Amino acid sequence: MTEAQARENGYEVKVGKFPFAGNSKATIMGSHDGFVKIVADQKYGEILGVHIIGPQATEIIAEAVTVMELEGTVEEMMFAIHTHPTLSEAMLDGYAAVEGLAINA
């Protein structure tokens, strides 16, 4: 869901956004354009939507699809291993940004 769709469906939402400019692998690749945006339910932290615009977004989106299918939460994903340096590490910072805890911001 988008942020607007989540609100329309009655959720109180929290959003985290992390730019690829703060991601080490994007720096190595010279590709800083874009971001990861996480839309989560404020009450339980369930991830309702994920938007990825940037390098190799099609390679990263599978994690988001899986966590949403399993009704995963921001907290659960903040403690999932995201190796360094990888583009998928931007997902970790996106989840953490929902709670204001992105390390590389």
Q: Smallest Cα–Cα separation from 52: which of 41, 38, 40?
A: 38
What is the gyration radius of the CA atoms in the chain, in angstroms?
13
Q: Residue 62: how many CA atoms within 13 Å on its side-chain side?
A: 4
Q: Is 84 a catalytic residue?
A: yes
- Residue with the two structure tokens 């966590």: 67
Q: Which of 32, 51, 82, 84 is catalytic?
A: 84
Q: Which residues are catalytic?
A: 84
